[in-house]
Amino acid sequence: MHNTKTQLLKTNFPKLNRSTLDTLQVNLGYTCNQSCKHCHVNAGPKRTETMSLEHINDILTFIENNNIKKLDLTGGAPELNKYFRHLVTRARELNVSVIDRCNLTILNEDGQQGLAEFLAENQVEIVASLPCYSKDNVDKQRGKGVFNGSITGLQKLNALGYGKKDTGLILNLMYNPIGAFLPPSQISLELEYREKLHDDFNIVFSKLYTLTNMPIMRFGSTLISKGEFENYINLLKTSHSDDNLQTVMCRNLISIDWQGYIYDCDFNQMLDMPTANKLKNKLHISELDLTNLQNTPIQVGEHCYGCTAGSGSSCGGALS
């Protein structure tokens, strides 16, 4: 795989300042039941990196001591970490909202019986990747059989009340382009998804988020192989909007890797660009004192234009 990091470090991306920390985004490991082409984590069934119980408990301690409001769980497939349910249960007891970045097919895997019911009982918000409402496009990007598995997963969630009004069970879908272009308007695409998924499969959902592909890991490597890397970076840069700078996710979030180290966001984590701090060390969640992050810069690179291009992009979808 081609590493794009060296081509991303030299940048004129504007300086970003931190705001109040309210969200921990935790990568529970790189094991996944899928191997999607665009994956910025390079996750897959053969990856074995997974967060230990010790570090999961470090996270719970940090949440309790720092008034964290939201825990955003990602991977790989986060549910494949064997302490996933322990973490979710304890976080909910602490009154923290939990987001599960669910690939949908995991709900049908052997060994994951009762997962959908567990998520519903704990009122976990689900953000589910579905890059298209057509079978061909989804299978092309995410692998053969993924579309049908995703539809089965969505129907299972709908049957529990997910995505339906007045149940409090949030089911958001995440779109990302299948190639080197920016996402279309989130509002118009959401209408299209609603119509198609309802008419074809009787599926409902809460909101659709659009996410720009990042020129890193598997997607970045594919760009290099196809000779499209520079053009894609230019597209991101020429589409940059300063208005999106105030709402990029790294201003209110920190990202934690499976070993417990902290980063400004999941993308910086994948590029091994740890959070800058006054101690000038790679900081671990077990020793994190937030005063050491005050007035320190967020680490930026050319990939950051992926967050500010067009309507903007974050793990919560378009920014404007």
Which residues of this protein are in contact with ligand SF4, per CB under 6 A? Answer: 32, 34-36, 39, 41, 43-44, 75-77, 103, 129, 142, 248-250, 264-265, 267-268, 298, 300, 303-304, 307
Do the Cβ atoms of 271 and 5 come closer than 8 Å? yes
Residue 148, class by beta-carbon neighbours within 10 Å (0-12 exposed, 13-18 middle, 19+ buried)?
Answer: middle
Nearer to ligand SF4, 33 or 158 (CB): 33
Asked if 58 and 20 count as a contact pair (C-beta separation under 8 A), the reply is no
| Closest to ligand SF4 by CB, 77 or 180 | 77
86, 92 Cβ separation under 8 angstroms? no
Min dist CB 94 to ligand SF4, Å, is: 25
Nearer to ligand SF4 among residue 55 and residue 142 (C-beta):
142
CA distances, 131 to each of 150, 165, 171, 190, 277 (Å): 11, 24, 15, 12, 36
Residue type, 220: G
Least spacing, CB of residue 162 vs ligand SF4, in Å: 18
- Residue 39 beta carbon to ligand SF4: minimum distance, rounded to whole angstroms: 3
Minimum CB separation from ligand SF4 for residue 251, in Å?
Answer: 8
Helix (H, G, I), strand (E, B) or coil at 203: coil
Cis preceding linkage at 76, omega within 30? yes
Closer residue to ligand SF4, CB minimum distance, 65 or 294: 294
Least separation in angstroms between CB 165 and ligand SF4: 28
Per DSSP, the residues of 29-86 read: BSB-S---TT-SS--BTT---B--HHHHHHHHHHHHHHT--EEEEESSSGGGSTTHHH
Instruction: Report, in Å, the least distance between residue 253 CB and ligand SF4.
Output: 8
Q: Which CB atom, from 41 or from 126, has the smaller least distance to ligand SF4? A: 41
With respect to ligand SF4, which residue has the nearer C-beta, 54 or 272? 272
Q: What are phi and psi of 101, to 5 degrees?
A: -85, 95
